[in-house]
Amino acid sequence: MKSAVVSKHILFISACSLSSFAMANNINGIVKTENGEMLNEGVVQVMGTNKRVPIQEDGSFSITGLEAGQIELHVSAPAYVHSTAKLVLTTAGIDDLEIEVSNASIEILDVTASAFHASSIESAAPVNVLAGDELKAKQSATLGETLKNEVGVHSTFYAGVTSSPIIRGLDGPRVLITQNGMDAGDASRVGPDHLVSTEASTATQIEVLRGPATLFYGSGAIGGVVNIVDERIPSDNQTEGEVTVSRNTNNSEEAFSGEYKSAVGDFAFNLQGFYRDSDSYRIPGYAESEEAHDDEHEEEHDDEHGDEEHEGSKGIVENTQSRTQGFTIGGSYLLDNGFIGASVEHQSSLYGIPGHAHGHEDEHEEDHDDEHGEEEHEEGEEEIILGDMQQNRYQIASRLYLDNSIFNEFNGTLSFTNYTHAEIEDGEEGTRFSNDSLEGRFELLHQPIMGWRGGLSLHYKDSDFEAIGEEAFTPPSNTQSLGLGIIEEQHFGDWLIQLGARVERVEIDVPALQFADIELHSEHEEDHDDEHGEDGHDEHDDEHGDLGDLSGFSKASYTPFSLSAGAVWDFKPGYNFGISYVAAERAPSTAELYAFGPHIGTSTYELGALFQVEDEGEIEINPAGLRKEKSQNIDISLRKFKGDFGFVINAFFNSVDDYYYAADTGFLLGEEHGHDEHDEDMHDDEAHHDDEHADEEHGEEGHDEHGHSDELPVFAYVSEDVELYGLEAEFNWRVSNNFAVKAQGDIVKTKIVSRGDENLPRTPPARFGLAIDYSDTAWNASLQAMRYFEQKDVASFETPTDGYTIVDFDFNYYMPMGSSELTFFAKARNLTDQDARVHTSFLKDLAPLPGRSFVLGVRANF
């Protein structure tokens, strides 16, 4: 929808009307602002080709080696509305071309996650794009914390060591995390204690598609997409580099990141690397909430868990240290009509998994002290459980602009990812998660057909996921999907109509269904032994005898279908109105269907939707649990994007049938007698593994050590009809050339319609934010405050969460050094040292937000 973004300064120019001194097949011109000033930054690109040149400080640009014919130039620059110029180029060339751009009241950036790479205001559905200085200011050690202040986005905040973005109350398998459009291929969609294996410190921009993005990415994106964009596979021959070093005073984090991109002839290359090392973070109060401490003390009736232990957890969240590092090497061959390239990435991380205190793990403390320093945990009595993540990612990508009567562009990407995550307990590997994934995405965009612009997309994905160990709550599985999609758009006057459809085939194969011989007792029973004695156990064994016949449930096949229709109306210059409707379907994940075991990340015992818990605690097969998730979504947007004042207001409604979530069964795990496997060969492998760890897995002491005591709550996945709806708003006011004010807010409501309008668990609270920014030639300062309101709309097993206000401050000092620039920066986080707990976190009662912290660093751009 380029015509909707221009300042109505679209030019149709013939070379014969221009200077006769123009160079053949070249375009020379200048870019001005609406005030007549020369634009001194930005990019001019020839649409449909890989030719793009920077705008010089005097506003000039020059493009050489063009073919005669009709062409379209696209101009993009920070703080300005994108502009286009349509030209008729002859062999005489064009000289003295002038293009005008208008001031933008909101930041406008191209979205690579969309098929047309349109800008953020050209989509009927809402999109966040974080880039440039704003991205650098918000970059954090985890993806969720980097994005948590974006409108409509919250964070799972797993004690700072991991965190994933939550989009409009949805996360996990409904929100897809991609690296340059390809699935991250990690286990972060399975559990909150798993790292998102994509790096924000080397990203050029991060895109958040709020709402269903199934047309491009399949059923796993029914709640949205977070796309991390970098230049690991270069598409041009520009030379540029960046190096950043910083230190955090709160957790002593030392961070480094660097990138260098250049070219030799037609070969372009990119080098990236990063390193972070941090200790456990500091807090202003106790790690454990008062409510959680009182409940624990009341249940255990033991003095050693009283005030003395609580005081020992004051001022620090134990076992939240981490060390993460990685590098990427990429290269591409630049063609006249595109590029083809490849990249290799390795990433590793060793980090603490907090929230497993037992008070008797001296050996763990000694081992940890050797690795991360003695002073970090000298007061702690928490069992040290570490996560060891390793990932290798290989990508091949190409973009070709075609001189064809039918198709004009081809985009293809092939990715292979090898991922492992091991949980280290007592210095030994406990449970290992692995995922080998192969993914291919191929797009063909066609020439305009009766005014319609669009294309076809073919998307294939194969994932081999395996979890082995005593805490393997989901069985090994293979998931394959193949999707075919079509998207089209056309202008009708001031209207842009966008249509799309996708059909997908998803097949899940579980060679060895697993289940355990467990005893359940009600949370309200005071005497477990009296209620579940020998008779109860015999009855339970009989029930599990029925579970042994699972041959008909080891495979599941789905055919999700998605359909979308949207419109953008430019009803007034600088304004537009967008509306979109999406009907989407999702195939449930393996964990949602087949889980059966203890989940360390959520401190629960999880059962998939294939199993259901009866009133007496018996577990039976639930054939009706293997259904598709179906959603209908409506988005309405109003935008003002020109001038000194602008805004974006969104309203959304999402109705979902058969929504999968883990519900509290009201039962606790009484005793686990080990996992059984439905497949004999797999059973033999597991039996060998069980022999090696027999004492740990089956012994009474082993249960205590690993936190799977008699009181582990049992949660079962169920599918219910739910509704999610809310409002999002962002206002920007440029008071002067130096001074700007930004206000934002969002609220989401959830209810389980089939359960009398109960609330979904971990629904994000309403919030309101205000930011004041002042910029001068050599420096910039920004003060931000975000108010999180009290969350009272809780699930039956949750407690309300108090509201809090977080105040942050950023300062940058710029020092030019020839063609390079040094930036000295300081970031202050939680200036008022608030004791704040995140309602969307599984560790809300065990790990509050970090206290006051300062980050000091320097960045060099060259």
pLDDT digits (tens, 9 = 90+) for 751-795: 999 888 899 999 999 999 999 999 999 999 999 999 999 999 999
Helix, coil or strand: residue 691: helix
Of the two residues 515 and 94, the one the predictor is more confident about is 94
Is the pLDDT score of 603 beyond 70? yes
Distance set, CA 32 to CA 7, 29, 789 (Å): 12, 10, 45
Lowest mean pLDDT among 618-622, 626-630, 842-846: 618-622
Q: How many angstroms separate the Cα of 97 from the Cα of each of 15, 18, 34? A: 10, 8, 15
541: phi then psi, degrees, rounded to nearest 5: -60, -40
Position 214 scores a pLDDT of 84
Residue with tokens 């020439």, as numbered in its chain: 447
Q: What is the mean pLDDT of residues 727-749?
A: 96
Say if CB 829 and CB 850 are below 8 A apart: yes
Structural domains for the chain: 2-101 (2.60.40.10)
Is the pLDDT higher at 782 or at 669? 782
Residue 843 DSSP symbol: T
For residue 307, which amino acid is it?
Answer: D
**To which residue do tokens 């686990």 refer?**
672
Tell me which residue of 154, 144, 142 sits closest to 763, measured CA to CA.
154
**In angstroms, how far is CA 648 from the centroid of its own chain?**
22
| Residue 68 reports pLDDT greater than 50 | yes
CA atoms within 13 A on the CB side of 660: 31
Least confident of 293-302, 726-735, 798-807: 293-302
Q: Using alpha carbons, list the distances in angstroms from residue 810 to 79, 504, 830, 852, 853.
A: 20, 46, 12, 14, 12
pLDDT at 391 over 80: yes
Q: How many CB atoms lie within 10 A of CB 657?
A: 17
pLDDT, residue 428, reads 86
Q: Kindly write down the DSSP assignment for every residue of 350-381, as one continuous string.
A: EEE----B-S--HHHHHHHHHHH-SGGGSS--
pLDDT band at 546 (very low <50, low <70, confident <90, very high): low
Other C-beta atoms closer than 10 Å to the C-beta of 300 total 12
How far, in Å, CA of 702 to CA of 694, rounded?
9
The token pair at 709 is 């005591």
Exposed / middle / buried, residue 492 (Cβ in 10 Å: 0-12, 13-18, 19+): exposed
Does 516 score more than 60 pLDDT? yes
More confident residue, 29 or 625: 29
How open is the CA angle 545-547-553, to the nearest 5 degrees? 150
CA distance 116 to 411: 11
Lowest mean pLDDT among 9-13, 51-55, 437-441: 9-13
Say which residue the tokens 């000298």 belong to. 378
Residue 566 vs residue 112, higher pLDDT = 566
Q: Give the whole-angstrom CA distance, residue 757 versus residue 445.
A: 45
Distances (CA, A) of 61 to 97, 256, 334, 682: 10, 35, 21, 65
Q: Which of 130-134, 308-312, 402-406 has the lowest mean pLDDT?
A: 308-312
Residue 700: how many other CB atoms lie within 10 Å:
9
Residue type for position 97: L
Helix (H) or strand (E) holding 344: strand 338-352
Range with lowest mean pLDDT among 19-33, 74-88, 639-653, 796-810:
19-33
Cα–Cα dist 143/226, whole Å: 9
Q: Using DSSP, how many helices (H) and how many strands (E) does the chain show?
A: 13, 45
Are the C-beta atoms of 257 and 244 separated by less than 8 Å? yes
| Separation CA 424–CA 422 (nearest Å) | 6
Closest listed residue to residue 650, CA positions, set 665, 633, 668, 670:
633
Q: Dig out the tokens for 224 from the structure.
A: 């949205």
Round to whole Å and give the CA distance between 416 and 183: 10
The rounded distance, in Å, linking the Cα atoms of 367 and 387 is 15
Q: Please report which confidence band the pLDDT of residue 830 belongs to, taking 50, 70 and 90 as the band edges.
A: very high
- How far is it, in rounded angstroms, from Cα 268 to Cα 261? 7
Mean pLDDT to the nearest integer, 352-361: 62
Q: Which residues touch 862 (CB under 8 Å, ≥6 apart)?
A: 240, 241, 242, 819, 820, 821
Measured CA to CA, the distance from residue 218 to residue 505 in angstroms comes to 10
Q: What is the per-residue pLDDT for 299?
A: 52
* pLDDT over 70 at 378, yes or no: no
Q: What is the DSSP string of 184-250?
A: --SSTTT-TTSPP---STT-SEEEEEES--HHHH-GGGSSEEEEEE--SS-SS---EEEEEEEEETT
pLDDT of residue 475: 92
> Residue 525: pLDDT band by 50, 70, 90 thresholds?
low
> DSSP for 699-764?
SHHHHHHTT--TTEEEEEEEEEEEEEEEEEEEEEEE-SSSEEEEEEEEEEEEEEGGGTSBPPTTPP
Residue 307 has a pLDDT of 46
- The residue-averaged pLDDT of 156-160 equals 94
For position 549, what pLDDT does the model report?
A: 61
Determine the pLDDT at residue 117. Answer: 64
Quickly tell me which residue has 């130096």 as its tokens: 738
Q: Is the dihedral of CA 157, 765, 168, 757 positive or negative?
A: positive
SS3 of residue 716 by DSSP: strand
Out of 214-223, 243-252, 612-621, 690-699, which region has the weakest mean confidence (pLDDT)?
690-699
Of 35-49, 317-331, 366-380, 789-803, the range with the lowest mean pLDDT is: 366-380
- Which comes out higher in pLDDT, residue 528 or 436? 436
What's the pLDDT tens digit per position in 214-270? Answer: 888 988 899 999 999 999 999 989 899 999 999 999 999 999 999 999 999 999 999
Give the pLDDT band of residue 2 (cuts 50, 70, 90). Answer: very low
- For residues 228 and 203, what is the distance between their CA atoms, to the nearest angstrom? 6
Structure confidence at residue 556 (pLDDT): 93
Cα–Cα distance between 77 and 332 in angstroms, integer? 26
Please, are residues 612 and 623 in contact by the beta-carbon 8 Å criterion? Answer: no
Higher pLDDT, 134 or 624: 134
Beta strand pairing status for 767-775 and 779-788?
antiparallel
At position 751, the amino acid (one-letter code) is K
Question: What are the CA-CA distances from residue 19 to residues 85, 94, 328 (Å)?
Answer: 18, 7, 47
Report the pLDDT value the prediction gives residue 297, as an integer from 0 to 100: 55
- Burial label for 601, CB within 10 Å (0-12, 13-18, 19+), is buried
Average pLDDT, integer, range 171-200: 93
Q: What percent of the chain has pLDDT over 90?
A: 59
What is the rounded average pLDDT for all residues in the chain? 84
Q: Which positions ≥6 away from 809 have C-beta within 8 Å?
A: 781, 782, 783, 784, 827, 828, 831
Q: Is the pLDDT of residue 189 over 80?
A: yes
pLDDT of residue 79: 79
Give the mean pLDDT of 163-171: 96
Q: What is the mean pLDDT of residues 581-585?
A: 96
Determine what percent of the chain is predicted with pLDDT higher than 70: 83
For residue 539, give the 3-state DSSP assignment.
Answer: helix
| Non-local CB neighbours of 227 within 8 Å, separated by 6+ positions | 112, 113, 178, 179, 180, 181, 206, 207, 208, 209
pLDDT at 738 over 50: yes
- Please check the confidence at residue 706 and state whether its pLDDT lies above 70: no
Mean per-residue pLDDT, 145-169? 95
The pair of three-digit structure tokens given for residue 599, joined into one six-digit string: 């989940």
Would you state the pLDDT for residue 374? 42
Does the pLDDT at position 7 exceed 60? no
> Which pLDDT does position 264 carry in this prediction?
96
Taking only the tens place, the pLDDT of each residue in 460-495 is: 999 999 999 888 899 999 999 999 999 999 989 999
> What single-letter DSSP state applies at residue 678?
S
- Give which of 830, 839, 828 is closest to 790, Cα–Cα: 839
pLDDT-based confidence at 812, cuts 50/70/90? very high
> Which tokens is 261 given?
């991109």
